[in-house]
Structure 1
Amino acid sequence: MDEAPGLSDQYRTASPWPVFVALGIPISELGLLFGLFPLAVGGLLLFCGSIAGMLKESGYVESTIRSLVVLSAILFAFGGALAFTEINLVTRGYATIAAAALLLVGGVAFELFVWDNKQAI
């Protein structure tokens, strides 16, 4: 009798990305809600980096940099809307813009300096 029916070596293991997405959302929300700059930036980096990792792992994108560029553009637009409107959310907008800039720089550095396994073969 098989102890794990229905499981075999052909199935992939579980992905770790949903846990990081679930952590990134409340961390960034707490940082943005209370105006805590480092917490907001760290949470947005965790959330957007996890989304980019999920897209790469599932095969929806060929390169991580493309998804990071799109996510950072969304964050730039959102941060600009927060920082440069008449509503007094300047700190939150600057935190979002800083997260977008760090996400873009990190994505470019990742693509330039991390060796992909496909290149080694």
Structure 2
Amino acid sequence: MDENPGLSEEYRRASPWPLFVALGLPIAEVGILFGLVPLAVGGLLLFFGSIAGILRENRYVSSTWRGVAALSLLVVALGLAIWYWDATTQSDLLVRAYSVLGTGVLMLIAGVGGELFARDTDPAF
């Protein structure tokens, strides 16, 4: 019988990121669905920040800050798509579009600022 089931000798620790992904996505969904801007922005920041941490942990990106900046472009594109959909269909999605766009802008500022000013430290490790 193995004393450490589920962990191999190759990996010394378990990843904390799946918990934050699992928390960030529903928080963001509740915020976007009901138009609660702080929940939407906080949940999206938690979700996409965790995705950037996963990418850094698996060495798909060289820096977590670059991962955050790259993911911010996807978030801004999603916000612009929601904004365009609101303009063409006259639906009530403008608050949601601004929440997603604001999150993308905050992520871009954090990614660029972290890459420029926090070169010695990496938030993932």
Q: Deviations over 1:46-101 (max 9, x none)?
A: 00000001100111111223322221111111111112322320000000000000
Map of 2:19 onto structure 1:
19
Q: Larger Rg: 1 or 2? A: 1
Q: TM-score, normalised by structure 1?
A: 0.84
1:47-62 pair list within 5 angstroms: 47-62=47-62
Give the 5 Å matches for 1:33-112: 33-85=33-85, 86=89, 87-112=91-116
2: distance between equivalents of 1:113 and 1:66? 13
User: Which residue identity does 1:102 align to in structure 2?
Assistant: L
Q: Does the residue aligned with 2:11 lie in a helix, a strand or coil?
A: coil
Distance in structure 2 (CA, Å) of the matches to 1:26 and 1:96: 15
Cα separation, 2, equivalents of 1:35 and 1:61:
33
Which residue does 1:116 correspond to in 2? 121
| Alignment RMSD (CA, Å) | 2.2
Unaligned runs of 5+ in 2: none
Q: CA deviation at 1:110?
A: 1.8
Report if aligned partners of 1:84, 1:90 keep a CA contact under 8 Å in 2.
Answer: no
Larger displacement relative to structure 2 (18-27 or 55-64): 55-64
Amino acid in the other structure paired with 2:108? L
Question: How many residue pairs get matched?
Answer: 116
- The 2-side partners of 1:12 and 1:75 are apart by 33
Query: Separation in 1 of the partners of 2:27 and 2:4?
Result: 38
Partner-residue secondary structure (3-state), 1:14:
coil
- Percent of aligned pairs sharing the same letter: 51
Point out the more displaced range, 70-79 or 9-18. 9-18
Unaligned runs of 5+ in 1: none
In structure 2, what is the Cα distance between the partners aligned to 1:108 and 1:98? 15
